[in-house]
């Protein structure tokens, strides 16, 4: 299972939110590159880089952070936030991203998302499946829908999606454990490479996600708050 560290960016700084609420912003480092280098030095390889300004403003805002991390580390970066066009995707790939994560367009314009998938291939594009009470949310978690997360992932898997990041918004930043049972329900129904996100607080959570069949796990606040160390995580790789 891939161990993936999250770096969320607001105003060029490394931050964390609670349940996606921008009013709960906490700055953990003024320089995201410093965190990226810590991740690389620990022996970990994967980074989930989220442009929260971009997600809120519906356009890429923190491209220079991606460029700096991609140029100055060997981390394999997936980038999300503010991706609204094929040109945006090409921009982030040219800046050094290995994969791109997008959920909002998959909700609001499925034909456009599938066009991107056809052009880029299933290894480059990750479906973002952010949900609350099993219902998909979009637009930086500000736009609610009535779409069930299991059917959302299943439908896109049938259309060629390989990877999906599933984030339980209620658990994000709460350090109360991930939605492992729901992820297992998805994996029992859909043969997809599921990356779990939201609520991970311990090494046991990670082991439970591994046993459930998750392809990856994204760790954010648990690392920044010292609940899990990079050394512990690296030993799992």
Q: What tens digit of pLDDT does each residue of 67-119 get?
A: 999 999 999 999 999 999 999 999 999 999 999 999 989 999 999 999 999 99
Task: Determine the pLDDT at residue 223.
Answer: 97
Range in 50-59, 136-145, 219-228 the model is least confident about: 136-145
**Residue 83 and residue 91: Cα distance in Å, rounded?**
10
Catalytic residues: 8, 130
* Tokens 């989220």 found at: 50
Task: Determine the pLDDT at residue 20.
Answer: 85
- Vertex 222 angle, CA 9 and 7, to 5°: 20
pLDDT digits (tens, 9 = 90+) for 123-174: 999 999 999 999 998 876 667 899 999 999 999 999 999 999 999 999 988 8
Q: Contacts by 105-113 with C-beta closer than 8 Å and gap 24+?
A: 106/156, 107/136, 107/138, 107/143, 107/145, 107/147, 108/138, 113/156
* Domain boundaries of the chain, sorted by first residue: 2-234
Q: Say whether pLDDT at 210 is over 70.
A: yes
Is CATH 3.40.50.1000 the classification given to domain 2-234? no
């Amino acid at each position: 299972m891939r161990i993936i560290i999250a770096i969320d960016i607001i105003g060029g700084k490394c931050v964390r939110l609670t349940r996606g609420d921008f009013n709960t912003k906490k700055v953990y480092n003024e320089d995201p590159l410093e965190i990226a280098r810590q991740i690389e030095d620990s022996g970990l390889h994967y980074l989930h880089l989220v442009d929260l300004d971009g997600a809120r403003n519906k356009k890429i805002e923190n491209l220079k952070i991606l460029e700096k991390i991609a140029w100055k580390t060997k981390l394999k970066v997936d980038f999300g936030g503010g991706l609204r066009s094929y040109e945006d995707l090409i921009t982030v790939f040219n800046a050094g991203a290995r994969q791109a994560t997008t959920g909002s367009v998959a909700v609001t314009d499925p034909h456009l998302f599938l066009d991107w998938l056809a052009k880029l291939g299933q290894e480059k594009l990750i479906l973002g499946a952010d949900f609350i009470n099993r219902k998909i949310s979009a637009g930086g978690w500000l736009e609610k829908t009535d779409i069930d997360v299991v059917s959302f992932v299943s439908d896109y898997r049938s259309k060629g999606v390989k990877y999906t990041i599933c984030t339980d918004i209620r658990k994000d930043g709460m350090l109360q454990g991930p939605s492992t049972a729901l992820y297992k329900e998805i994996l029992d129904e859909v043969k997809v490479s599921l990356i779990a996100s939201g609520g991970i607080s311990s090494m046991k959570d990670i082991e439970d996600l591994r046993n459930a069949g998750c392809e990856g796990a994204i760790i954010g606040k648990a690392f920044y708050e010292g609940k899990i160390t990079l050394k512990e995580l690296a030993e799992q790789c």
